[in-house]
Amino acid sequence: MKNLETTLYKPLIGQSIKDLEIFSISLGEPSFRGRQLFDWVYRKRVYDFGLMTDLPKSFIDVIKNVPIHPLKILNSKKSSSKSTKKYLFITQSGKMVESVLMVEKNRTTICLSTQVGCAVDCDFCATAKMGFIQNLSVGEIIDQFIQLEKISETKITNVVFMGMGEPFLNYKNSITAAKLLNHSKGINFGAWRITISTVGIITKIKQFTNEKQPFKLAVSLNGTNHQQRLKIMPITKKQTFSDLLNVIRYYTEQTRKRVTIEYVLLAGINDHPIDAKKLKEILSPIKCKLNLIPYNEINGSYKRPITNNINSFVKYFNNASFPVTVRWSKGQDIDAGCGQLATEAV
């Protein structure tokens, strides 16, 4: 069997069954050792080689220095309501990324990051102020779930790819991570409990549709026309408002699934009754659910609408043909709300 002392191997978390089979064969072991490793790491959630009882000691002695986790938790913050916790992770290369664990009644949701920073540059978002640093690997995405699941006091019921970064600008790694979460021989987390959120990368929404990905799709619209959206989301210059609506319709028609439309309410920007009327008209022909999100302030020029204005906006949707919810983000006091995640890049 080969010696690993002088060789650097990537962490086990993030590797597929095939990857781990190849890894085992490269060490002179049969391929089924890789399947055993996959079972221990993903299905049984065991992260101590000494507890992997069906692996021979000779194999464990060789791989004992191979890292299992690609991330390390540096610290955490708990909101005053205690319903939300924010966790700061560091990668092996020294970059930092945040994840959020939210508890509401019988739902426990993990919000996963897919990038360090973000290249989309939405004007109202704290993560955008970091700029784009790098994509997270498959392992770095899924390890957020694995580590937070282990310390969560309640069972994880939902996963949202809605943390730092734009998942569809790290499409391959984001989808691969979602598939690992869903793998029937591993974590076996239901695809219907996994939502991937995008600001509207049109080619990737189409790819997601054509590939018949089983995961839920959410799209941040945040405006009712091209110019309005362009002011707050510069990506609209290339990903036009009309093209985005067309690809959203394409997704719902091809998959027959409901898309979640996210609409951040910004005072004086997109919260006027005229905007509510227009948004209702736009969405009525589309199989969708609307999430209205009162803005989470980040000490910038944008403000959350006053409560009366939020309530007036919501009233326009009382008889809408699609479900509407108001998502009051949790953990604003620890900057864990939607659009508030940011770290200092190392």
Please classify residue 153 by burial: count the beta carbons closer than 10 Å to its beta carbon, then call 0-12 exposed, 13-18 middle and 19+ buried: exposed
Beta bridge mates, 108: 103
Strand order in the sheet with 324-326: 71-78, 84-91, 96-104, 107-112, 158-161, 194-198, 216-220, 259-265, 288-294, 324-326
Catalytic residue flag (residue 140): no
| Chain centre distance of CA 70 | 17
Q: Cβ distance 177 to 141 under 8 Å?
A: yes
Q: Cβ distance 306 to 265 under 8 Å?
A: no
Report the C-alpha gap between 257 and 186 in whole angstroms: 26
Q: Which of 111, 118, 122, 338 is catalytic?
A: 338
Report the C-alpha gap between 267 and 313 in whole angstroms: 11
Q: Cβ distance 185 to 17 under 8 Å?
A: yes
Catalytic residue flag (residue 297): no
Residue 117: enclosing H or E segment and its boundaries?
strand 115-117
Question: How crowded is residue 296: how many other Cβ atoms within 10 Å of its Cβ?
Answer: 22
- Residue located via tokens 């939607």: 338
DSSP string, 31-59: THHHHHHHIIIIIS----GGG-TTS-HHH
Q: Which of 98, 140, 166, 262 is catalytic?
A: 98
Q: Cβ distance 80 to 128 under 8 Å?
A: no
Please identify every residue annotated as catalytic.
98, 338
